[in-house]
Amino acid sequence: MTRRVRPFWPVIILAVLLVVPKVGVHLPVLFDGPLNRAGNLQLLAVGFAFGIAALSYNLLFGYTGILSFGHALFFGAGVYLPVIALRHWQWSLGPALLFTLVVTLALAVAVGALALRTQGVYFAMVTLAFAQAGAVVVGKNPGQLTGGEEGLSLPTKNLPTWMVGVIHTGNLYWLTLAALIVVYLLTLRMITSPTGHIWEGIRENERRIEMVGLRPYTYKLVVFVISAVIAAVAGVLYLFLSSGATPASVRSDFTVALLLMVIIGGSGALWGPVAGALLYHYLNVRLTTWAASGTVSALPGVLSRPLADPLFILGIIFVLLVLFFPRGIAGTFVTQRLRASRRVENRAR
Amino acid sequence: MILETRDLTLRFGGATIVDNVSFGVPEGEFVSVIGPNGAGKTSLFNLFSGLYAPTSGAIFFRGEEITDLAPFARVRRGLGRSFQQTTIFPGLPVLENTRLAVQAGRPGNFALWRSALTDRAVLERAVWALEVVGLRGREKTVAGALSHGDKRKLELALLLSTEPDVLLLDEPTSGVSAEDVPAMLDVIRHIRDVEHKTILMVEHKMDAVYDLSDRVAVLANGALVAYDTPDTVMADPFVRSAYLGVA
């Protein structure tokens, strides 16, 4: 076997991302003010957190072929559980995070064990039902625990000082970027492992997996739980970055957003969902700013009203992407493999 | 008897699909199951591999009752299965298809921290399975791009990869173009003669059945109406009228 030469561009991208908080460069149109302004760093860092969530969703949807509509439940668990422990029970950060991990694990095992007894659309519906139940509980504010529609702000007194305040946004940026890199490498390791290959087999043909002597249910439960825990990690980071929890993070809209990120980015390569997440979040935020600007409000009402909603434009972009790049950004590169195979086979025939 | 059924019956609603079938397959023998469409051949296979649960009766593998075992557990014990509708991993390369099947049959499937591709023994076995069915040189082809005949061969390779003792082949030549049928039958003959596997085959091509089988089982309306050597079965007047359509 010859050693494959690895492309070096990931290293370059990584190096650039690492120094961003130290660089005051201006990128007009793309970003307001210098790149290392707190607002810009936060925009990127939330993109990274969504990237982690998209990676977790891709494990389920892209690699194992399981369409869950309940992923927001676990992201939401990562957002709400630590803030509840920190604010209401005055716990310190370590125990609060451990508590989040344990509860998310238990929740994922319970929901997965039940929901995975169904398949396809039924599975999607069961997971949706669980997630909606979660969103309703958060909205009802039981025992003043979740803050209802208002949400909960993150209390700062039990947090290390390097995490608190706008001046430390750079630290949170690095923390989230580090988490993204770790999750990326972990995911890469998992999908190339024996278990990871079985996940792929389940996506390709679950009946055949059964008929080579494996129980699909077990492997699906494993990927469901792993994916839920990673989503919760993304939720925790999102909580720190937004200094509070809002019900939007448990709603099924967020699951749909994850689905869009994975589809836009494409699941053909692992960087696809991350790219999709960054693009989705960037557009969502920037289009909101743009919509509020004078350029849009100066237009006649027929145009300015729909354009004022970023989802309107995102929707159009999504439709165009699905039409012209049905396998997403990454998939467009990867599909070449199947095409090449077909060509070789046709020539042989 | 490596595989045995006792009073096996399957009913869906009012219809009796498999009717009180009792028979045994001796180890190492090649048994063909024939019968007109709707005779219950595939249903019988589905009962063997656990995709259907029988209404009554029992199935034994190596003397042990397997009637209530899940499909994957039966494969683990050595009961492999191919389908009338080709059942492969279409989006994966040919070699990865058999590699995954070999991996599945061995310990170490719960491993998230090591690479799946470093186990040389698994890879060698996967390549061997492709060799047996004549798909060497196609390792990198994505399975979905293979011709129909080659897909059927790949399914046989998947079956061999799990190293079963008994192979259930459901119409292995169905959909295979006429010129590819002999090659397919050669592969099956090789599996019988060289690998010494016990084989049960549902097949409509009578010359293949006659040529390969030690015994032939005839199903009609779900019931076993004859079970004997090919010569005896073909000579049976009932079989001739019920199935072969010869007066």
pLDDT digits (tens, 9 = 90+) for B158-172: 999 999 999 999 999
Nearest-by-Cβ selection for A212 from B73, B113, B162: B162
Q: What is the DSSP letter of A149?
A: G
* Beta strands B215-220; B223-228: pairing state: antiparallel
By Cβ distance, the residue of A190, A213, A338 closest to B162 is A213
pLDDT digits (tens, 9 = 90+) for B171-228: 999 888 888 899 899 999 999 999 889 999 999 888 889 889 999 999 988 999 889 9
Q: Which chain B residues are closer than 8 Å to A190 by Cβ?
A: 112
The nearest alpha carbon in chain B to A226 belongs to B112
One-letter amino acid of A265: G
In order of start, what are the domains of chain A with their CATH numbers? 2-348 (1.10.3470)
Residue A4 has pLDDT above 60, yes or no: no
Contact between B109 and A195 using a beta-carbon 8 Å cutoff: yes
Quote the CA–CA distance of B135 and B122 in Å, as a whole number: 17
Q: Of B101, B110, B142, which is closest to A337 when you measure between CB atoms?
A: B142
The answer for residues whose C-beta is within 8 angstroms of residue A315's C-beta and 6 or more apart is none
Confirm if A158 and A93 have CB atoms less than 8 A apart.
yes
Q: Do A201 and B141 touch (CB under 8 A)?
A: no
Whether the complex's predicted ipTM surpasses the cut of 0.85: yes
* Residues in CB range of A132: below 8 A, 6 or more apart: A252
What is the per-residue pLDDT across A157-166, written as a single tens digit (0 to 9) for each? Answer: 888 889 888 8
H or E element at residue A49: helix A38-58
Q: 0.90 exceeded by the pTM?
A: yes
**Chain A residues whose beta carbon lies within 8 Å of the beta carbon of residue B73:** 213, 215
Rounded to an integer, the average pLDDT of B59-78 is: 94
Q: Give the Cβ contact number of residue B145 at 10 Å.
A: 22
Question: Which chain B residue has the Cα nearest residue A1?
Answer: B118
Mean residue pLDDT across chain B: 91
Chain A residues with beta carbon closer than 8 angstroms to that of B96:
197
* Distance from C-alpha of B3 to C-alpha of B50, rounded to nearest angstrom: 14
Q: Please give the Cα distance from B23 to B216 (Å, whole number).
A: 11
- B72, B141, B145 ranked by CB distance to A210: nearest: B72
| pLDDT, tens only, A282-310 | 998 988 887 777 777 777 777 777 777 77
Residue A92 DSSP one-character state: -
Instruction: Enumerate residues 6+ apart whose C-beta is below 8 A from A27.
Output: A35
Mark yes or no for CB contact A338/B87 under 8 Å: no
Distance, CA of A46 to CA of A277 (rounded, Å)? 9
**Which chain B residue is nearest to residue A205, measuring alpha carbons?**
B89
Task: State residue B34 phi and psi, 5-degree precision.
Answer: -120, 170
